[in-house]
Amino acid sequence: MINIIDGGVTAPKGFKASGVACGLKNNQKKDLAVVCSDDLAVASGVFTKNVVKGHSLQLTMEHIKSGYAQALVINSGNANACLGEQGYKDAEEMASLAAQLLNCNSKNVLVGSTGVIGMPLDLSKVRSGIKSAISSLSEEGGHDAAEAIMTTDIVSKEIAVEFEIQGEKVRIGAMAKGSGMIHPNMATMIGVVTTDINISKKLLDKALKDVINHSFNRVSVDGDTSVCDMVVILANGKANNEGIVKEDIEYSTFKSALEYVCTYLSKMIAKDGEGATKLIEVVAEGAKNNEDAYKIVSAIAKSPLVKTAIFGEDANWGRIITAAGYSGADFDPNLVDIYIGELMVCRNGTGLDFDEEKAKEILKEAEVKIKINLKAGTSSDRIWTCDFSYDYVKINGSYRS
């Protein structure tokens, strides 16, 4: 039984957070977040697979190797990427300043940055931001933190759930930001998950990696993967459950709750994709194997032609079968069925004389499901994406200005 509760990263016991504006964004919006646990927490993370990696992310990859962390500092408005040695030094200074103020080891501070690439961080702003954020840390600060990590996101993204483990109430809280430059396979954005469960490092790591493959790694906004994207989880054990040390039923309960949280945020990210007017779920069934199923959903979700057709509410399924055809998956086009919502539009690779009005109605909804059945095997996959609108072009034609 998983209950949704109020709040985000500060909903679990023993976590505080804050979000402040320190001038990295031009518009006086919040741009620096701090999340911290009262005590050292076990920690795990998943990071971008891009060959190019932001400096803050690189530092976090180093620090998280210990398996422990206590705090996280994230700035928006600047990616701290492609800046040579200075970028890494700046990330180190962010961590050490926060550590000093929080009275912890700087190795236990994780750092994240998101925004424009290749522009040096204004460290005096960052320093004042960290000071001000740490002085305003509170158990109600989760929402401010969620706002402070937004870039082109329109809505802030957070969720918290409560469930029972080993007779104790346990909570997971989380926040995430999108909303462009998003495509698997990598952590596809910045996501921060907190929990007060008592769990071993090894199982926390396993749960996160398993869950991410079906949630954050199944979101595509534009096929681009950023150099700064990561998902980290901190578990501080404050719920006082006995401790999860093996893959038993209690572990499964935790994993289900984590999956619920990550899936919720993944769909929010797709829905809030840059310029998006619709959330699209692409499902592939009957693939020969898992790799093929993934290739199919990924190619369809990435196709600008599919995405503009759905924006235009045009049931142009020819573009769906076309994308499947060049995905690299192995299948017989003469067996393919395609559905838009519940409406079958193509059977055995041949177009049906379907009701265009009904298709239009389905495509007018805020959430659209596309399903393709290859009848080549038993593997399936699904991915969330959004449509491609005028606003995507507008947002991305002038992002730096």
Report which DSSP code applies to 177.
E
User: Which amino acids are annotated as binding site for substrate, given as ranges?
Assistant: 151, 177, 188, 274, 396, 401
Question: Per rule CB under 8 A, is residue 351 in the interface with a second copy?
Answer: yes
Stretch that binds a second copy, among 48-56, 193-201, 206-214, 253-261 (CB under 8 A): 48-56
Nearer to a second copy, 198 or 225 (CB): 225
* Min dist. Cβ of residue 397 to a second copy (A): 3
Residue 401: partners with Cβ closer than 8 Å, 6 or more residues away: none
Round to whole Å and give the CA distance between 98 and 105.
9
Q: Which stretch binds a second copy (CB under 8 A): 63-71, 94-102, 242-250, 322-330?
A: 322-330
CB of 369 to a second copy, least distance (A): 19
CB of 392 to a second copy, least distance (A): 7
Residue 178 engages a second copy in binding (rule: CB under 8 A): no
The pair phi, psi for residue 230, each rounded to 5°, is -160, 155
According to CB under 8 A, which one of 264, 331, 339, 384 is a site residue for a second copy? 331
Instruction: Please state, in angstroms and rounded to a whole number, the distance separating the CA atoms of residues 74 and 302.
Output: 29
Residue 152 falls in the annotated catalytic set: no
The values of phi and psi at residue 334, to 5°, are: -80, 0
d(CA 332, CA 374): 7
Q: Do 187 and 208 touch, CB atoms closer than 8 A? A: no
For position 167 contacting a second copy by CB under 8 A, the verdict is: no
Closer to a second copy by CB, 108 or 303: give it.
303
3-state secondary structure labels for all residues of 227-248: CCCEEEEEECCCCCCCCECCCC
Contact with a second copy (CB under 8 A) among 67, 223, 243, 377: 223
DSSP annotation string for 346-388:
EETTEE----HHHHHHHHHSSEEEEEEE--S-SEEEEEEEE--
Q: Is 277 in the site for a second copy (CB under 8 A)?
A: no
Which residues have a catalytic role annotated?
188
Task: Give contact residues for a second copy (rule: CB under 8 A).
Answer: 49-53, 79, 81-84, 116-120, 180-181, 183, 186, 222-227, 302-305, 308-309, 311-312, 314, 316-319, 321-326, 329-331, 333-334, 346, 348-351, 388-390, 392-401
